[in-house]
Amino acid sequence: MAEYNRVSECVGLITLRNPPVNALSAAVRQGIVDTVQRALSDPNVKSVVICGQNGIFCGGADIKEFGSNMTGPPLIPMIHAIESANKPVVAAIEGSALGGGLELALGCHYRIAHSKARLGLPEVSLGLLPAAGGSQRLPRLIGVPAALNLITTGRHVTAAEALQLGIVDQVTDHNTVDAAVKFALSVAGRSLDPRRISTHPCPQQPDLDALFEEVMQKVRQSARGAIAPIACVQAVRAAATLPYAQGMERERELMATLFTSGQARALQYCFFAERAVGRWRMPSGARWDTSKPRPVHKAAVIGLGTMGRGITVALAQTGLSVIAVETQEKQLMEAKQAISGMLERGAKRRGVAPALDGVIYSQNIQAVADVDLVIEAVFEDIALKTKVFQQLSAVCKPGTLLCTNTSALDVDQLASETPNPELVVGMHFFAPAHVMKLLEVVYGPRSSPQAVATAMQLGKKMGKASVAVGNCRGFVGNRMLKPYIEEAFFLLEEGATPELVDQALEEFGFPMGVFRMSDLSGLDVGWRVRKGDGLVEPGTASGRSARIRQGRRYSPLGDLLCEEGRFGQKTGRGWYQYDKPGSRVARSDPWLHSFLGAYRAQHGLVARRIDHQEVLERCLYALINEGFHILDDGIAAGPEDIDVIYVSGYGWPRHRGGPMFYANMVGLAKVLERLEHYQQLHPEVPHLQPSSLLRRLVASGSPPIHKWGEAIKKLHSQL
């Protein structure tokens, strides 16, 4: 797991070998301890180089070991032994040096990085802190402000930035190990005292207290309840104010609290869930590893409204050549200007040239004749989309994949309008499409595995968290959102205010509560959908019967606001009031409160006190319950798929792992019991009726989430 060679006669070369990322497993740590000892005791060796195999230095501690009893030599004394060595040790950093990997490199006396390498201490994103001395050495090396930034955000820096910050001593475009060996030869015999970072004091910083206070305030605000970023600030504070040994003790104490926390479990679950969704599978048995994607060199986007523009930018930024089609000249020109602006701003941020030439604009759908894949992004209207699909089937070369960007329409129906339904998949982007991480790839019963594989690969290229899901109303994300929003409406009828509901959800960790979110996205969106479903009736009727539609409880509150022209931020009024249309600062609206009072009186409802606990249970358990239905229906392959969708697209707080992970943490029996409780109180609300899968899981002993897949299979086979 760590290989030892003597090179250039007097350099001991230690190579970490643990594919794919050379994580510091027990065997690797043992290998490092043994090989370092061997190099230091060999009188022919004058200096040592540590590198990793296959172009990656080290991805850090082995996260898979965290759940089990840790064995093998601990990291801290291992790194300490390297730092105290009496021969220079040089880290040769290629690929990544992350977490424990960078901490190992900080224990070395010198660091040489390849220009394409990336370095960072991303422990915070796993609910931890750099606890192998990283929180104590980095501030000593680069100063408190820069270390705070890196450790509390977990961001990866390029080799160039690492050089500028002083994390590495040299950057090379050539073979990093050769450069490191050459460097190691040049420093053999030099005094190592100035190179032992732990012996340095932190660079002086004026107004240390004020700095920490300011950073702590910012971190608390952005952490939204996550505890690791706060512990990271406390650890760096220890580095700045205490001698190294005491700082290490503080680092250990803080890590001990984080290591066993539910948040760390949730965040590490998210890390693996994000990778697991790439290994998609369909109910037909088609899978990621047996379905080969088609090459896509040229793509097209039809319809350049908000979504189409974002999709064009996302595609062009991957280096694809894109034909962007909009039939109206004025809209085409406006879109061109907007897309160019987005490409330019994006390129500036990433320090690259904008891919302006990668996009060709056209008013004519014939222009897409030779593309490999089309994404249709016209208005959400099934008749219009059907027409576009029929045109595309006639125009495109045989085998072109036809993707529809829709959030609600039936992908199967569209597929059935084309001669080749196997080439059709849904690609549900989220606005703004070039920014939002989530992509639902929607397959129908006739979508070919190759079409799904191609859309999934394209999503990955665009940097999206792509999740393959089955076709149903609202797919996964929006289908689960419906009961969540409905419960929020019902709570208003029963006595809550938008402020109370939003506060409960924001304290839980959502960036915005349901009503602030609804004001942002526009109340008219849901109104249009409800009208299409035949649910909206003029708001004059009163009493209980007016609130039962299509045989179930219905709240017309959203419709009534729309009838008043209150569409949210864009009209300056919605669930809240805004200074002017388009303004983002939501303020309580006395009109809304008296409107709610009048509404309750009209319908014979008596307001009661509603607490945060009820808001969370009713909104979140209703959403989770729908998640269980989705799993039972085979629309999502596993709970990880649902959780990745919610964390990356719907603002579910990552440190709570996603709705299904949260249900697992709360306890399935408890979720079931609360749903049963609310269902008894509200028998006319079908989404509070516990799903049969939830009942069956509880009856089979509530298996842990990583065993749900097996349990679901077993429970299905018993039916």
Ligand X SMILES: CCC[C@H](O)CC(=O)SCCNC(=O)CCNC(=O)[C@H](O)C(C)(C)COP(=O)([O-])OP(=O)([O-])OC[C@H]1O[C@@H](n2cnc3c(N)ncnc32)[C@H](O)[C@@H]1OP(=O)([O-])[O-]
Binding ligand X (rule: CB under 6 A), the pick from 123, 251, 326, 589 is: 123
With CB under 6 A as the rule, give the number of residues binding ligand X: 25
Answer yes or no whether residue 63 interacts with ligand X by CB under 6 A.
yes
Which residue of this chain has its Cβ atom nearest to ligand X in the complex?
99
Provide the token pair at 713.
């299979």
Residue 24 or 39 with smaller CB distance to ligand X: 24
- DSSP-derived secondary structure for 106-153: HHSSEEEEETT-EEE-GGGGGT---TTTHHHHHHHHH-HHHHHHHHHH
Residue 113 touching ligand X (CB under 6 A): no
The residue whose two tokens read 């307001």 is 607
The burial of 417, by beta-carbon neighbours within 10 Å (0-12 exposed, 13-18 middle, 19 or more buried), is given as: middle
* Residues of span 133-152 touching ligand X by CB under 6 A: 134
The answer to whether the bond into 398 is cis (omega within 30° of 0) is: no
One character per residue 569-598, x = contact with ligand X (rule: CB under 6 A): ------------------------------
Contact flag: residue 128 with ligand X (CB under 6 A): yes
Q: How far is residue 560 from each of residues 44, 536, 538, 582, 685, measured CA to CA in Å?
A: 85, 9, 8, 21, 21
Binding of ligand X at residue 235 (CB under 6 A)?
no
Contact residue for ligand X among 78, 85, 91, 132 (CB under 6 A): 132
Q: Tell whether residue 251 is a contact of ligand X (CB under 6 A).
A: no
CA 437 to chain centre: 7
232 binds ligand X (CB under 6 A): no
CB of 429 to ligand X, least distance (A): 22
Give which of 5, 7, 192 is closest to 86, Cα–Cα.
192
- DSSP helix/strand/coil, 9: coil
Residue 21 binds ligand X, judged by CB under 6 A: yes
- DSSP per residue over 556-622, as a string? -HHHHHHHTT--BGGGTBSSSB-SSTT----B--HHHHHHHHHHHHHTT-------HHHHHHHHHHH
Residues 81-110 interacting with ligand X (rule: CB under 6 A): 96, 98-100, 103
User: At closest approach, how far in Å is the CB of 63 from ligand X?
Assistant: 4
The bridge status of strand 298-302 relative to strand 321-325 is: parallel
Q: In this chain, which stretch among 59-67, 405-413, 484-492, 646-654 interacts with ligand X, using CB under 6 A?
A: 59-67
Coil, helix or strand at residue 402 = strand
Decide: is 130 part of the binding site for ligand X (CB under 6 A): yes
Q: Is 123 a catalytic residue?
A: yes
Q: How far is the CB of 154 from ligand X (least distance, A)?
A: 8
- What's the CA gap between 457 and 297, in Å, rounded? 13
Give yes or no for a contact between 37 and 23, defined as CB atoms under 8 angstroms apart: no
Q: Please choose, out of 122-130, 337-345, 555-563, 588-596, the segment that lies near ligand X by the rule CB under 6 A.
A: 122-130
Cβ 237 to ligand X shortest distance, Å: 18
First to last CA, the chain: 47
626 as an active site residue: the answer is: no
Nearer to ligand X, 122 or 459 (CB): 122
Task: Please identify which of the residues 3, 65, 83, 123 carries the catalytic annotation.
Answer: 123
Catalytic, out of 94, 103, 251, 626: 103
Q: Which residue has the tokens 């797991």?
A: 1
Smaller CB separation from ligand X, 154 or 690 = 154
Query: Of the candidates 1, 11, 13, 23, which one interacts with ligand X according to CB under 6 A?
Result: 23
Closest of 482, 529, 537, 547 to residue 684, by C-alpha:
547
DSSP calls for 669-703: HHHHHHHHHHHHH-TT-GGGS--HHHHHHHHTT--
Report CA dihedral (429, 432, 434, 436) to the nearest 10 degrees. Answer: -70
For the bound state, the minimum distance from the C-beta of residue 131 to ligand X, rounded and expressed in Å, comes to: 4
- Is residue 60 part of the contact set for ligand X (CB under 6 A)? yes
Q: Is 403 in the site for ligand X (CB under 6 A)?
A: no
Minimum CB separation of residue 120 from ligand X in Å reads 8
- Cβ atoms of residues 581 and 591 within 8 Å: no
Residues 66-85 that bind ligand X (CB under 6 A): 75
According to CB under 6 A, which one of 3, 37, 64, 352 is a site residue for ligand X? 64
Binding site for ligand X (CB under 6 A): 20-21, 23, 59-64, 75, 96, 98-100, 103, 122-123, 126, 128, 130-132, 134, 272, 275
Please identify every residue annotated as catalytic: 103, 123
